[in-house]
A and B are shown apart, each in its own frame.
Chain A
Amino acid sequence: MWRDAMLVAERDLRIEMRSKVALWQVVPFAILVLLLFAFALGPGPALLKESAPGLFWLALLFSSVLAAQRSLAIEGSDATRESTRLMGLDPAGIFLGKTLALTGELIALEIVLMAGVILLFHVVVGTWWLLVASLLVAALGLSAVSVLYGSLAGGARMRATLLPVLVLPILAPVLIAGARCFASAMANGPGLGGRWLSVLCVFAAVYLVLGIVLYGPMEES
C-alpha cells in the first residue's frame, strides 16, 4: 500500500510541477481572496489583525477546494482511473498517495497565505509550534476529506459545482479548530489551542481511516 501511495504521490506532484496549475491559478486565487477580504473589511489594521485567523482559514478552505479539483481532475482525465486499476494498484494506496500529494500542495499554499497575513494584516505569531502543528495536521485532514469526497462526487462535469457543497460543511470543524489554534498562536501562550489541535488530529485520523477503507468501494464502477 505504501509503495503504491508513494508512486501515486510522486506522479501527482510531478504532473503539478510540469503543469504549474497550482502556482499560476490556486496561489494567485488565495492571495486574491486575502486582498478581497481586506477590501471588504476596510484598511483598519486592528480589525484586520483581529479577523486574521478566520480570514486565513477561509482563504485556505476556498483555495483548497480549487487545489482538490485539480488533483481529482488528474485522476479523471485520459482514462487514468482505468489505467491505475489495470496496473493493479491498491485503492488504499491510491487514496493515500493522492492525499499526500495534495497535503504537500496545501502546505506550500499555507506558507504563501501565512506570509500574506503577516505582511498584509500585520499578524504577529507568539506560539509558532502550535501554528505549524495545526497547519500540518489540518492540511492532512483537508486533503483526506477532499480526495474521499471527490470520489463520491463522481463525474468531472458535475464535480466542479458539487464538491464545494459536499466538502465545505464537512470541513466546518477544521475551520473552527484551525481558527482557534491560529488565534491561540497569536496570543502569548497556547491557551486552549492544544485542545483545538487535538480536534484537528482526530478529524485527520478519522478521515484517513475512512478513506483507506472506503476509497476502493467508491471507485468501483
Chain B
Amino acid sequence: MRHTLDKLLGPVSVALVAITVWLGLFVTPPDAQQGDLVRLVYIHPALAWVALYVAFGMAAVCSLLYLWPRTRSMVFDRLAASAVEVGVVFTVLTLITGSIWGRPTWGVWWTWDARLTSTALLGVLFIGYLALRRVPAEPHIRARRCAVAALFAAVDVPIVHFSVVWWQTLHQGATVLNPNLTPTIHGLMAWTLLLSFVAFTLVFVWMVIARYRLETLREEGEDVELAEALVARRSEGVS
C-alpha cells in the first residue's frame, strides 16, 4: 500500500503541475490590468506557500518535537533537514518568479521591499542551517544545534507574512489569506490558483519523502562503513 502511494505521488504531482500550467497559460483569461503577466500568479504564490508555510513550518514543528524530551527522535531531525533543503529550493524559485513578475511591473528585477528583503533573509538563514548540518558532530549534538538554529530562523516566517501589513510595501497584499479572509480572485482563476497550491504541495511532499530516504540511507551507509572499518582494523591486529 505504502509503495503504491509512493509510486503514485510523483506522477500525480507532476501531472497536477502540468494541468496547472496548461490552465494557467491557455485556459484562464488574461487580467484586465496586468494582461498575460497575471499568469505568474498560478506559480509564484504556490511556490511561496510551500517554501514559507509548509517547508519552514514543518521544519519548525519537527525541530520543536526533536527538542521536546518526550518526542525526541532522529526521525524529526531528518524530516526537518529534508523540509529545509526542499524549502530553500522553493524559496529561490519564489524569488526568481517574483523577479520575473517585478521586471515588467515595477521596472526592476529587484527592489528593497520589506516582503522581498525578509524573504531573501529567510533563505539565507536556512542556508546557514544547511551549512550547520555539515559541521561534523555526534548525530544527537548536531540534531540539537540544528533544531535550535531552525527555530531561530523560523521567527522570520511571520515577519515575512505580515511585512505587507506592517510596512508600506510595493509587494501587493495577500490575495487569499488576507486579514479579512475575503479572496480577491474568483471563478476559473481562483480554481487554477487553488490547484497550483495542491500541485506544488504534493511536489514538496514527494521531494521530502525522497530526501528523507536519502538521508536515512546515508546514515545507514556511515554505520556500515564504520563497522567495516572496525572489522578491517581488528583483522590487522590479529594478523
Residues of chain A having any CB pair with chain B under 8 Å: 152-155, 158, 162, 165-166, 169-170, 172, 214, 217-218, 220-221
Q: A154-B137, A155-B137, A162-B128 are in contact. List 10 more A-B contacts (CB 8 A).
A: A152-B149, A154-B135, A155-B135, A162-B135, A165-B127, A166-B149, A169-B125, A217-B144, A220-B141, A221-B137
The answer to whether B121 and A218 touch across the interface, beta carbons within 8 angstroms, is: no
Per-residue interface assignment for chain B, residues 131 to 157, with 1 indicating a CB less than 8 Å from any chain A CB and 0 otherwise:
110111110011011001100100000
A172 with B121: in contact, given A152-B149, A154-B145, A221-B141 (CB under 8 Å)? yes
Residues of the A chain whose Cβ atoms lie less than 8 Å from the Cβ of B210: none
Task: Give the dominant DSSP class at B's interface.
Answer: helix
Closest to A154 in B: B135
Q: For B127, B128, B135, B137, which residue has the most chain A Cβ atoms within 10 angstroms? A: B128
**Chain A residues positioned under 8 Å from B230 (CB to CB):** none
**Across the two chains, which residue of chain A brings its CB closest to B123?**
A169
CB distance A155 to B136 under 8 Å? yes
Q: Which residues of A contact B125 (CB under 8 A)?
A: 169-170
CB of B15 closer than 8 Å to a CB of A: no
Q: Nearest chain-B residue to A145 (Cβ)? A: B152
* Separation of A221 and B132 alpha carbons in the complex (Å): 16
| Given contacts A169-B125, A170-B125, A172-B121, A153 and B132 within 8 Å (CB-CB) | yes
Q: Is B227 an interface residue (CB 8 A)?
A: no
Say if the beta carbon of B124 comes within 8 Å of chain A: yes
Given A155-B137, A170-B152, A172-B121, does the pair A218, B128 have CB atoms closer than 8 Å?
Answer: no
